[in-house]
Structure 1
Amino acid sequence: MKIVDKGVLDASFMDFSTPSEFARSALYYCPQFGHFYCKQGYDIQREYLELYLLMYICSGTMTIEVNGKSVTAGSNQIVLIDCYQKHRYYCNGDTEFLWFHFNGSSCASYVKYLINQNGMVYVGEDFWRLKQVFLRIISEAQSNVGNEHRISLYVNQILCRMADSKQQVSAMNDLLLPALEHIRTKYTHPISLDDLADLCSISKPHLIRCFKKYLNCTPHEYLLSYRLKQSKQMLIGSQNTVEQIAELCGFNSASHFTRAFRGATGITPSEFRRLQF
């Protein structure tokens, strides 16, 4: 279709799809998508759009402004915009990019998480590989018999890769590896927030912020989860009593262990032990 937006060159294309009710309720779906070649003057400003936007910058640069924050993306970088917020994006010169609007049942939480963690622009040494995933999404969405499940899978693949950027993993290891290793080797003993903060050479508030940023939980929640994981292995793979397992996994008492286990799983340790896996 002919594109009337200012600054969009003739080689560009844009198309639309109509997702099924099932896709709207259970999958990621892409109702609008395209491949644009633009020159300076391409400038989109919106107050609000009930969709999210992913762009892969093939060449050139794109500047994005959302809620007073401004960032610029370049070649082989990915842009994520929450279009529910007031936003603007524009080219600074000749720019080629792939794009699609998307939504789905888990989008709001996932997009909020990604932007809070990493912002709107994503960089990765191997992000050039994701260009092919963008092209697959556009091809499937364009097809008269496009596979909605495959589109959802491809969108999820992009989001997962953005969440698991090498920069993110490296930063987490640099900051938290001493604490994580201490929990792994000493989970059977009492572990305090002071212990973990001292090992990482940071303050307790900063430690908590880092756990929330990189692991989406507090240090206490991570320690509890690790202890419960070990307890499940023992419940299924040993003849130890619940009391013995509670002690071996660092819980103060069997009753504390049972309360924590039920809170996390909805069943008691004894009920878990009787399950058939």
Structure 2
Amino acid sequence: MSTARFEVISSKSDTFEPELRYITHSRYDNEWLSAVHSHSVAEMLYILEGEGEIVVAGKHREISPGDFIIIPPHLMHTEVSSIAKPLEYYCLGISDISIKYEKDDFDPVIALGNSSQNILDLIRSIYREMQKKQKAYELMAKSYFYNLFSILIRRHVIDIKMDEEKVIRSNIADVKSYIDEHYAESFSLNSLADIAALSKFHLIRQFKNALGVSPMDYIQTKRVNEAKKLLSGTELSISDIAEAVGFSSGSYFTQRFRLVTGMTPMGFRSRYAAEDEHGLL
């Protein structure tokens, strides 16, 4: 018997895990609003029918059936359709990737060559799975999606040889800065993931790798630290301080405060006042 064995070697530092966040099928009609906008994720468009323009970072590019378009995250853009030949296209929103953008020579329209039909078939398969939602549809959609990405990479349509670790670190820093500035507001993992252009799973993992705690634990600790300043520097009531730093109730504030500091807010205030009185601070 002859056996050929191939091992898959995985390295966390080299992990490339793009994630499909959404797929849409759009067709021009009278309610079409060509407003300039941006997304926290990259977008890929496949033009099915019609004619028009894609406007990316103020640059206009004519588009027609068969064109494949890549738009980097956070880049202002819009689609403008011909009225006589309305645009129709698929759009995929993809997180956990970065697209190299050179302002002077960036062209969002990518030549697919003889891969065009294969790419379209895969996009249609993804859309069909997401639309019908049959058993294991998410797994099937993901398999088609990874197949599509593999073709794009092998055909050199996209280049993943970029400093993705640097991009992720920068995005995590953006999330931390946002929390530090808006700690008293309501948060969701979805909103923080949008800021980082990552999935919720990858946000939690990368945030913990960078700071040693999850995003939600960081938020709670930040709120407790801000509360300590108010407890020691003001005469605000416990409930007022809880509200000021973003806790939903005084009891939950007390619970989190004790978890972080080992004492209640009132106990902390009393201890601070006693140490201040005796000149220990």
The two structures share one fold, judged by TM-score above 0.5: no
Tell me which structure has the larger Cα radius of gyration.
Answer: 2
Q: TM-score, normalised by structure 2?
A: 0.42
Q: TM-score, normalised by structure 1?
A: 0.42
